[in-house]
Structure 1
Amino acid sequence: MNNLSKMNFNCLTDFESDIALIRNKNIEELGLGIVRKNEINFVETVADPLQKTRVTDEAVKLFDIVALLENNLNLESKRKLTKLDLSSRSNMGVIFENGWVSSIAQLLPSLTSLKLAGQLIALDEFCAICTNFPHLVTLDIRETFFTSLEGISKLAHLNELTMGSTFLQNIDDIYKLRNLKYLYIRGIGRNDDLFAALRSFINSGKSLFALEEFDCSNNGITNEDLKSIERRQPKLKKIIATGTLLNNYAPEKASSKIITDDTIASCLEALTYYQEICDHKEIEKIMDKILRKIETPVEELTKEVQQNLIRTFGKLKKFRRELLSSNCAVASFLGEYFILYIRHRKDAHFSVDRFNHCLLNDIM
């Protein structure tokens, strides 16, 4: 058991005994989600609105992430840990104690991947990250509260960047990242508006010469917007754009792949993609999209659409256990499908027996 390499606490964790599970393990990847420790690791203070960006009149609690890692990682793990995920798994981010960035940099010298999505990271802390982690390859700072990415060009090895929030505006420094292959500016939910950062990327007229994969999902991006981005990225091979305003978008290059959800066929491709990366939230959105698309009576659907629906159930079979154990409303979703099709048994072109076989044997 000491050779365990990964440990992920995906939900809220309030108990020392939970985190203590890693003390005698040699791990290289650690995901803590939003880790909340009652009283011991918290210090009462008053947030400085100028430093922290987020304005509040109430006392806030600082979380001592350095002490948590120091006390629970053994020497081998501290030396070899390469991936650290401190993302918030709820709408309750935390503020880490001052100086945490430089302390973690010293504590974890091999760190190359840092994820902080949803946490209350101040602008000065972001600047400290860029200075103290020059070897970062992966950085996730979506839904944080600072307004500028100035200084990110110091991360010369950065290969993957996930960003985007209602606060972030200045992203000019990313165009100096010569090794950036993966850029994700995914929104929170389907929206007719664009993140300011995405609008800036669209209007910049600039290129990321190494960019191969781009995610602009859950934003109000249009065909014209995406086309202007694609034409400037010479190595772009894959675009993920579900939950957008795109309509029958065709990539500039025939070899490029686009993942959208504007048709049932494209929804199936999106479902496969989100299965592969285990993104349950997006899987739920795609399944809901399929359901809304087939509210049309079955007799009005084409044979191709009917066949695609059978394919959908085939895909769901492969990961039904994961979905049913997650927070997705899968049971309700399948129930609605079942009722919908039973209601339209009269259609002669659709094999109700085959549909029921797929539903009952492959899914339920």
Structure 2
Amino acid sequence: MNLSDFEKTNYSGLYVSKVAHPTFGKKYIARFQHERKRYVKVLGYTKKDNLTKKSALNLMQKFKDSIVIEDKKTNIEMKQIISDNAKPENIDEIQKLKSENDLMRSILGEFQEHDKDSLKDGIQKLYDAEELKQYQIELIKLQNYLENENKRMIILFEGRDASGKGGAIRRITRYMNNKHYRIVALGKPTETQKNQWFLQRYIEHFPTGGEIVLFDRSWYNRAMVEPIFGFCTQEEYEIFMEDVVNFEQDLVRQGMILIKLYFSVSKAEQKRRFDRRINDPLRQWKFSEVDMQAQDLWGEFSEKKYEMLRRTNSRSAPWHIVRSDDKHKARLEAVKIILNSVDYDGRNYALDFQPNEKVNISVQKELMQMRKSQNY
């Protein structure tokens, strides 16, 4: 409830809700502040009069008294601990622990009331965001360079369902100038597009000078998804696999900066993410009929992935394999790959641009791993 939902009483710092709150058994709510902390308590009344306000005052005073008593108790206990551990080094250690505890409380508030794993996850996300932010600054420099030099960039994001492509795209573009980038995620082709040259509907979205286009799935749908689900013939698949390398070489020869990222998620991690989508109301919209088949068709997708990487990796347009079981590390490596593709102005050489070889995997290493196991 917001402060606007309360009205001030004659007592300093004490507020009572304007209406009986249905969530709390149609009872009135008291709100007050103590030591810069705000407290809300349920009053045992369904109507509001002077008795209600008096009850709210008593409730506030009783609670404040309990806080004071608790503080005194804590101080007594602390003095007892110090007395029992009277060595100077023990006293210093206790004071240090108390300072750390006070600092943690000032930041996290009543952290004991929250789930431990949720707190750890939330704090880790803050650390991850701060680490990534330095590289996001570099992405803005890269974008400015492309605009000033009138250069064009295409970034392809490929990978199995739930491999982390969308999350990576959001982090990469978060602080970019939205006038100079576009995210393209094409749906099913129309009847007209089905009768066109396959690559034509992608070319329509290619960048102009100074622009970046990020494809959330790309023409490589024809290399993996379409043949598995019967959306193209075997002949159409073979024609694409034979022609795509030359097509990309022509793009690069004409000045296009082409970056191909493949997010490689393990079978176990994909299942965990699917289960989370099913059980989490905030993520259920992400789950689709295709997702339901992804685990059952893992072997078929692995075969097509292997052929795609083997046959379409080239010197002018290489694949960059990003192991994506750890989302943050995958996003960080994807950003590094993009930044390392261009010698832009003003690079911050204090940052580490070296690839993490456990996450940023060469195509040869990925293919070797897949020959041993289809886990990726």
Question: TM > 0.5 between the two?
Answer: no
User: TM-score, with normalisation over the residues of structure 2?
Assistant: 0.21
Q: Which has the larger radius of gyration?
A: 2
User: TM-score, with normalisation over the residues of structure 1?
Assistant: 0.22
Structure with greater helix share of residues: 2
Q: Using CA pairs under 8 Å that are at least 6 residues apart, name the structure with larger relative contact order, 1 or 2.
A: 2
